[in-house]
Amino acid sequence: MSPETRHLIELTDAALAADYTRVRRAANAIARELAEGGDLEAAHELRSLLRKKGVPLRASGYVEQLPVDTKSRLPLVEEQGWPSTPILLNRTAGATLQDFISDVHHVEELSRQGLSSRLCLLLSGPPGTGKSLLAGHVASALKRPLYVVRLDSMISSLLGDTAKNVRAIFDFAPAKGAVLFLDEMDAVAKLRDDRHELGELKRVVNTVLQGLDALDDRTVVIGATNHPQLLDRAIWRRFPYKISLGFPDRDVRTEMWRHFLFSDQQHEAAQHLAEISDGLSGADIETIAHTARRHSVLTKREIDLAGVAEAVVNSESGVPMLPPREMLSPDARRDLALRLSAKGLNAPKIAELLGVTRQWALKLLKNEERGDG
């Protein structure tokens, strides 16, 4: 086995064990070899990477430290890295987020004045509106590790053990100085109609409540739910900070199109697309935009805005239609122009999206008005 191969295996093994010390040692050895072999640029790049701080994963024995389900031995929480994409929020949500982060930063000062409150933030909103992403951004802003618990999978496994599991999680997170993210908070409530006994469910809810109550005032907990109305009132009250992530408003949609479709470049079409994509979630917009960009890369053509518009008018929230791979036929183009007009776009905007002249769009709309289109 060559020394390079040996180091590569060592590096992989250390990375999977989340052992930063070994990762650094192996990477340093590789950098030394690269330098000796004359590849100074690569050696330099690797060494500058090594100067970066890693994600605050605990060093060795990381997996064993996670609380596990007593029966299955599966971990109850999962560490998630910090997001690398931005979160785009409307003004109210953005302001609450900033308030929350600022309160966490100043918790000592606030608590000296008797003004600290439980650092629990509840996120509600339909699927794909950025709840999980937002939880990641909170952890990243606070530079704390993020531990995610999926209450639904935990509860459905075996109700009898759930209370014990919940307790293990609430003991674990504060000890780690972590942000604890309880996803699918409505899972408990949803089970209520199920075959489970009410007594057992009460016990689960109570354990969650006790867990929340026992937290010190520095532990950050984020809960997320698609169905806030299903949430137990007592749990609801334990979260003083609440952000409702509805579907993005027009300004946010413009930012989303600009970010996901035009890679943050200014483009007027972002506004036109925002105008016709009311009711779509951030995840829907991302899916449509990224598909169009993939097509553009593979066909080596500009992004086909008509295809994007076609996908948008055919999409419903949660079920995005994908832009067609082929360019639209002239008939489909005419049809689309009329549908865009019905959505309130004027001729110049339609022309921009379809890549046709304003005259063409104006004439088409006029003919349609006269009834002979």
Closer of 120 and 245 to ligand ATP (Cβ)? 245
Closer of 20 and 247 to ligand ATP (Cβ)? 247
Is residue 127 a contact point for ligand ATP (CB under 6 A)? Answer: yes
Closer of 128 and 145 to ligand ATP (Cβ)? 128
- Tell me, what DSSP letter sits at residue 228? G
Q: Given candidates 18, 31, 77, 88, which one binds ligand ATP under the rule CB under 6 A?
A: 88
d(CA 47, CA 65): 30
Is residue 129 a contact point for Mg ion (CB under 5 A)? Answer: no
Is residue 132 a contact point for Mg ion (CB under 5 A)? Answer: yes
Among Mg ion, ligand ATP, none, residue 283 binds (CB under 5-8 Å by kind): ligand ATP
Is residue 137 a contact point for ligand ATP (CB under 6 A)? Answer: no
How far is C-alpha 292 from the chain's CA centre? 21
Run of H or E including 121: strand 120-124
Q: Binding marks (x or -) toward ligand ATP, 251..290, rule CB under 6 A?
A: ------------------------------xxx--x----
If DSSP codes are grouped into helix, strand and coil, which group holds residue 124?
A: strand
How far are the Cα atoms of 76, 143, 170 from residue 57, in angstroms, in the given order? 17, 11, 18
Among Mg ion, ligand ATP, none, residue 128 binds (CB under 5-8 Å by kind): ligand ATP
What is the nearest approach in angstroms of Mg ion to the Cβ of residue 121? 14
d(CA 150, CA 28): 38
Is residue 132 a contact point for ligand ATP (CB under 6 A)? Answer: yes
d(CA 280, CA 122): 22
Closer of 19 and 255 to ligand ATP (Cβ)? 255
d(CA 213, CA 174): 13
d(CA 182, CA 76): 11
Query: Given the rule CB under 5 A, which residues bind Mg ion?
Result: 131-132
